[in-house]
Chain A
Amino acid sequence: MRRLTWSVGLGLLVAVGTAGLGWWTVPIVGLGAGWLGRRRKDIALLTALGAGLAWGGLLAGLAWHAPLGPLLGRLAMLFALPAAGVVGLTVLFPMLLAWSAATLARRIGQWTMPAASQS
Chain B
Amino acid sequence: MSRIADGIAAVILTILVGTSVRGLGGLPPVGPLLDPIHGVWATAAGAQPLGKRSVLLGGLGAPVQVRVDRRGVPHVFAQSYHDAVYVMGYVVARDRLFQMEAQTRAAAGRLAEWAGRPALAADRQSRAIGLGWAAERKWSELDTTSSTYQTLVAYSQGVNAWIDQLTPATLPLEYRLLQATPIRWEPKYTLYFYSEMGRTLALNNLDVVRGRVGALVGKDAAEGLFPLHAPLQQPIVPNGHPTSTRLPVSLPPPGVPDASVGHSFADQLGVLAGREPPGNADRIGSNNWAVAPERTKGGYALLAGDPHLELTLPSIWYEIHLNVQDSLDVAGVSFPGSPGVIIGFNREIAWSFTNTGGDVIDYYRETVDDEGAPTRYLLDGEWRDLTLTPTVFRGRGGGILLQDTLRYTHRGPLLPVGEEWYSMRWTVHDPSHDTDVFAQMQGAHSVDEWLTVMEHFVAPTQNGIVADRQGTIAIRSSGSWPVRPGDGRGDRIFDGSRSANDWVGRLPVERYPGVRAPAQGYLASANQEPVDPRRDSTYLGANWPSPWRAIRINTLLRSDSAVTPDAMRRFQTDPGSARVHAFLPFFLRDSITQVASAEDSLFRRGLSILQEWDGTYRGQGIAPLLFETALGELTNRLWDELIDPGGSSGRRVATPSEAVLLALLDLPASPWWDDSRTPGVQEDRDELLIESLSAAYLRLLTSRGAPRDGRWRWSEVRFANIMHLLRLPALSRRGIAVEGGPSTLSPSSGRGQFGASWRMVVELGPVVRAWGTYPGGQSGNPASRWYDDRITQWQQGQLDTLLFPRAADDLSPTEVVSTLIFEGASR
Contacts and interface: CB of A to CB of B under 8 A. Distances in A.
A4 interface: no
Nearest to B43: A71
A24 B31 contact: yes
B41 A23 contact: no
Nearest to B27: A79
Interface residues of A, number: 35
Nearest to B35: A23
Interface in A83-113: 89-90, 93, 96-97, 99-101, 103-104, 107
Interface string A3-42: 0000000000000001100111011000000000000000
B426 interface: no
Contacts of A107: 2, 6
A55 B36 contact: yes
A78 B41 contact: no
B782 interface: yes
Nearest to B30: A93
B419 to A, nearest CB: 47
Given A23-B20, A71-B783, A93-B31, A65 B731 contact: no
Contact of A70 (B12, B32, B42, B784): B784
* Most chain B Cβ neighbours within 10 Å, of A44, A65, A89, A93: A93
B247 interface: no
A1 interface: no
A114 interface: no
Contacts of A74: 730-731, 782-783
B31 A103 contact: no
Contact of B44 (A22, A27, A62, A77): A62
Contacts of A101: 9, 13
Contact of A22 (B16, B35, B48): B35
Contacts of B782: 70-71, 74
B36 A90 contact: yes
A65 B44 CA distance: 9
Contact of A65 (B8, B17, B42, B45): B45
* Most chain B Cβ neighbours within 10 Å, of A44, A63, A71, A97: A71
Interface string B40-57: 111111011000000000
A62 B42 CA distance: 8
Interface residues of B, number: 37
* Most chain A Cβ neighbours within 10 Å, of B17, B729, B783: B783
Contact of B34 (A27, A67, A89): A89
Nearest to B731: A74
Nearest to A71: B783
Contacts of B35: 18, 22-23
Interface in B100-137: none
Contacts of A71: 40-41, 43-44, 47, 782-783
Contact of A23 (B32, B731, B785): B32
Interface in B680-731: 728-731
A75 B40 contact: yes
A62 B17 CA distance: 25
A62 B45 contact: yes
Nearest to A63: B44
Contacts of B44: 62-63, 66-68, 70-71
A74 B732 CA distance: 9
A18 B39 CA distance: 11
A78 B728 contact: yes
Contact of A19 (B2, B9, B31, B37): B37
Given A59-B36, A97-B13, A100-B9, A68 B41 contact: yes
Given A19-B37, A90-B34, A77 B9 contact: no
Contact of B41 (A22, A67, A70, A90): A90
Nearest to A41: B2
B40 A27 contact: no
Given A68-B44, A104-B9, A93 B34 contact: yes
Contacts of A103: 5-6, 9
A88 B31 CA distance: 14
B20 A100 contact: no
Given A24-B31, A66-B45, A78-B728, A99 B37 contact: no
A70 B785 CA distance: 8
A96 B16 contact: yes
Contact of B36 (A18, A67, A96): A18
Interface in B778-811: 782-785, 787
B168 to A, nearest CB: 9
Interface of A: 18-19, 22-24, 26-27, 44, 55, 58-59, 62-63, 65-68, 70-71, 74-78, 89-90, 93, 96-97, 99-101, 103-104, 107
5 contacts: A23-B35, A66-B45, A71-B43, A71-B44, A71-B783
8 smallest beta-carbon distances between A and B, as pairs: A77-B730, A71-B783, A103-B9, A23-B31, A58-B36, A100-B13, A78-B730, A100-B9
